[in-house]
Amino acid sequence: MAAGSENTAAYYIQHHLQNLTFGHHPENGWSLAHSAEEAREMGFWAIHLDTMGWSIAMGLLFIWLFRKAGRMATTGVPGPLQNVVEIVIEFIELTVRGAFHGRNPVIAPLALTLFVWIFLMNLLKLVPVDYAPQLFSRLGIEYMKLVPTTDPNATLGMAIGVFALIIYYSLKVKGVGGFAKELSLTPFNHWSLIPFNLVMEIIGLLVKPLSLGLRLFGNMFAGEVIFILIALLPFWVMWTLNVPWAIFHILVITLQAFIFTVLSVVYLSQAHEHH
């Protein structure tokens, strides 16, 4: 979509980066936001319906695909879906074996869920940027962001979930006393440096969910912005740049899902270790 003026381009970019937001507005009550300003005025408890909807849809797609592959599994010649599922499971299994040094039957299924779910959400980025907004505008829906991982609410939500597991297993494996001792006597094992250790370790602990969530969000959001900027160019230039960028982004989509998964497994492995 080519822009005829700077204002048109600015509106086009803002429109494509705006989530479909539902919340309580001070003047309009419970309603959908019709602008970025209204979305901000709805405050913290406003819900991004597009992020929620597409992330749940990709989760259900993941469950359906793997359930279908499981029901169709055969010891004979496997079909394409079974081949792909088996490759993904073996890949995640090898990854977990290399990164996780404890014993926990939850870690491998968690890693598989994270990797496939994030990959499917990222994969929505390959849908041309104008398709979803134009389709839903015809249905009377003003905004529609298709890729949940371009929303920090989604990426930080997953990261906080992983962080909760880190705290849970740290307390379960090490005990309250062992976990407190690790925070207070690492890296310097001396009582006089406990305040310094606590500050450093607590900061390091809190950085884990931030690094997980913001890394995924930053990479996917930057890619989305580039797709939008390419869509503003003339038609012949747009397709010349869009196809190579989309092909390159297939690698980015997979890599970001892999990085989030591996770091989650590494952090959970650290939660199972005794110092």
pLDDT of residue 263: 95
Q: What ranges in 26-129 are assigned the alpha helix state H?
A: 36-41, 49-72, 80-99, 107-123
Answer for the pair 231, 241: CB distance below 8 angstroms, yes or no: no
Answer for the pair 96, 111: CB distance below 8 angstroms, yes or no: yes
Amino acid at position 85, single letter: V
Answer for the pair 83, 89: CB distance below 8 angstroms, yes or no: no
**Angle CA(114)–CA(119)–CA(121) in degrees, nearest 5?**
100
User: What is the CB neighbour count within 10 angstroms for residue 58?
Assistant: 22
- The gap from C-alpha 218 to its chain's centroid, in whole angstroms, comes to 10
Residue 137 to residue 143: CA distance in whole angstroms: 7
Residue-by-residue pLDDT tens, the chain, 275 positions = 444 444 588 888 888 889 999 998 888 889 998 888 899 889 888 999 999 999 999 999 999 999 998 888 777 777 888 899 999 999 999 999 999 988 899 999 999 999 999 999 999 998 888 888 889 989 889 899 999 999 999 999 999 999 999 999 999 988 888 888 888 887 777 777 778 888 898 998 999 999 999 999 999 999 999 988 888 888 778 778 888 888 888 899 999 999 999 999 999 999 888 65
Give the single-character DSSP code of 29.
E
pLDDT of residue 246: 85
Tokens of 209: 């969910």
pLDDT of residue 7: 57
pLDDT of residue 237: 80
By three-state DSSP, how is residue 102 classified? coil
Nearest alpha carbon to residue 81 among 94, 67, 91, 95 = 67
- What region, left, alpha or beta, does residue 74 occupy, with left being phi > 0 and alpha being psi -120 to 50 degrees? beta
Name the residues annotated as catalytic. Answer: 211, 215, 219
Cα Rg of the chain (Å, integer)? 22
By three-state DSSP, how is residue 12 classified? helix
Sign of CA dihedral 11, 12, 18, 23: positive
Q: What DSSP assignment string belongs to 154-172? A: HHHHHHHHHHHHHHHHHHH
Nearest alpha carbon to residue 85 among 56, 63, 105 = 63
Q: What Å distances lie between residue 206 and 99, 160, 202, CA to CA?
A: 21, 10, 6
pLDDT of residue 5: 41
The helix/strand count (H/E) of the chain reads as: 9, 3
pTM of the entire structure? 0.90
